[in-house]
Structure 1
């Protein structure tokens, strides 16, 4: 890079720097200037013809919600004829509430299912701005409730269902746990660089304002698409950090990227959970930027993160 490169550039490893260059060349304008339709056309990519992680069983599902049916995809490493009920992870893809598909999380979900022995159910919730808050959360809440009811039919243990997601999906996973507090909670939450705060004031928002893939300005634009530009803030189911208390939430794994505007918010959420008695495991992955977890086969840190998720889920299952 030239002498005008931002200070954080030297924090990226060689692979991340190369990918950052590719992103800057592929996007003619920032996401907020492209708008939802053009951004989706450019960024919502199909999975490869041959998956990196082949599985015995991948099944398309239709899940009923209060607003109608949504799509889902079930991944299982065991044979579909296995008689043993498995624990399950409900996975919510990222994309700033505006972008993202089941295909974008396909390789990640395959790798988690294969490495953990858990069934993974990936949800295709409604996107903003066409369906603003709380549409996506309602889809996730309804789908989770449906899965707990129908788990035996799907070969899933209804008492061992966890929730997880990356970025906006991490927000929705955290909000779902807050929504279900006082009833049957997920057995764990797995959050990759979750968007949990709507104040945008932590130091990382300035330090990495122009970071690759997700700049601070694009992140705020995505938030406005989700909640609306006039949203007053303070709603803990939109921004989980706003909750008066985090006590009683399930054990939590949080993973962050070093070069990411969201980093400090996610790590502050981990600290607050731990301070309020929730068992928390937190890992910051150095050398990478927001979105790395789903880039299976691209970043070494993605494999490291998946290995950590799989180990964590196996430990949860034993517990």
Structure 2
């Protein structure tokens, strides 16, 4: 399912997404400087680069940041309207487990809320390498428990709960769905956008590597190292959720970017979910790269992908 263009020069990328990459790459160079950056500096640079892309978009009925004492991490509650929504989406941001935050992905959360009619909750989970696997997964799981206990006090409908995320946020969304199924408390839906599901080096790692694309193979290898450290992969079963038993998982919507080093594992996951009997909708957005949803302010392709996932979620949650 590779694009026809085999040159790797970026001409297979949608023009608006190519402009998004050009601007963000230029800003990274402007903010980062010449010296190798420390992790705190990388995070600060990433926040600055993404700041313009978070601006604008839907206005919420209310937005509230909360740091529950029992969680110790910040969560953000976007209420889409005054009335009780059909359900709640817990959104897990990407960033290689190392960078980004709720703030860099705030517009995506608001877009999902406005388009789906659901309320959206984000979580600023602890980042690696300071907090490696499974710290973030444990925090997300604890957040779900907190929402089920206290969500109604914040006007949230937690009778029906979806989870979604991009990149490593998709990885952890899938992992959490597996864990919740095994606990006997399954979630109702999952939205998985250009996720990182495996450490294996597939052909797309070479085909879409390089500066013309948003994410490089070397970056992804570094992210896995920061997330897992030296622990054997066999001791981290939910780190690579594509290898888990996928039967009995909730309906899934996969947003697949074909011009992405992670493309092949996304195709593979879609096939495995369908083979496991999971109600799976997978859409390949021609010309899309990793992170392309964040370009929604200039990209019709990102706008379409966000609407597709939100409409799918709306239909699912409007069912009796």
- What is the TM-score when the length of structure 1 is the normalising length? 0.89
Residue number among 56, 64, 70 corresponding to 2:61 in the alignment = 56
CA distance in 1, matches of 2:13, 2:27: 19
Aligned match of 2:232: 232
Q: How far did 1:257 drift? A: 1.0
Unaligned runs of 5+ in 2: 1-5
Aligned match of 2:291: 291
Unaligned runs of 5+ in 1: none
Q: How far did 1:195 drift? A: 0.9
Q: How far did 1:49 drift? A: 9.1
The two structures, once aligned, show a CA RMSD in angstroms of: 2.2
Aligned match of 2:126: 126
CA distance in 1, matches of 2:54, 2:91: 22
Q: CA, structure 1 residues 308+96, in 2 after alignment: closer, same or farther (shift >3 Å)?
A: same
CA distance in 1, matches of 2:9, 2:54: 35
Q: Helix, strand or coil for the counterpart of 1:54?
A: coil
Q: Is the CA contact (8 Å cut-off) linking 2:132 and 2:227 kept in structure 1?
A: yes
Name whichever structure is richer in strand by fraction.
1
Length, aligned pairs only: 306
Q: Is the CA contact (8 Å cut-off) linking 2:85 and 2:118 kept in structure 1?
A: no
Q: Helix, strand or coil for the counterpart of 2:56?
A: coil
Aligned match of 2:39: 36
Q: CA, structure 1 residues 139+64, in 2 after alignment: closer, same or farther (shift >3 Å)?
A: farther
Counterparts in 2 of 1:53-202, with a 5 A limit?
53-65=58-70, 68-79=71-82, 82=83, 84-182=84-182, 183-200=184-201, 202=202
Q: Is the CA contact (8 Å cut-off) linking 1:47 and 1:106 kept in structure 2?
A: no
Q: How far did 1:59 drift? A: 1.2
Q: Is the CA contact (8 Å cut-off) linking 1:285 and 1:301 kept in structure 2?
A: yes
Q: How far did 1:9 drift? A: 1.3
Aligned match of 2:214: 213
* Counterpart check, 1:19 vs 2:24: no
Q: How far did 1:50 drift? A: 6.0
CA displacement, residues 255-280 of structure 1 (integer Å, 9 cap, x when unaligned)? 11121111111221111010010010
CA displacement, residues 189-248 of structure 1 (integer Å, 9 cap, x when unaligned)? 101111111122x211111122523101001101110111x23224331110121x1101
Aligned match of 1:267: 267
Counterparts in 2 of 1:238-249, with a 5 A limit?
238-243=239-244, 245-249=245-249
Q: Helix, strand or coil for the counterpart of 1:17?
A: helix
